Amino acid sequence: MWTEKDNQLTRSFQFKDFKEAFLFMTQVAEVAEAQNHHPWWSNVYNEVNIKLSTHDAGDTVTEKDHKLAAAIDLLYQKGEQA
């Protein structure tokens, strides 16, 4: 579940291993590039942490962030079913 705090949407995602986490990050990168809206993220082994905010709007949460968050959620749900 995404949490809004300090003008950012944040969420952590857990995976079976590093390979699955990195595959997810690659898929998110493609969606983010298509939306021209890029996340801050970190990855340690099987965990990916993502923070979203819109720099052009003064580093606040906007509809662009919610749209990307929804797309990321869909990718994560598809991966859980695989």
Inter-helix orientation angle 18-35/63-81, to 10°: 140
pLDDT range class, residue 82, cuts 50, 70, 90: low
CA 53 to chain centre: 11
DSSP 3-state assignment of 9? Answer: strand
In this predicted model, what pLDDT tens digit does every residue of 16-45 receive, in sequence order? 999 999 999 999 999 999 999 999 999 999
The answer to whether the beta carbons of residues 46 and 21 sit under 8 Å apart is yes
Domains in the chain with CATH codes: 3-81 (3.30.1360.20)
**Do β-strands 47-52 and 40-44 pair in parallel, antiparallel, or remain unpaired?**
antiparallel
Q: How far apart are CA 78 and CA 3, in angstroms?
A: 21
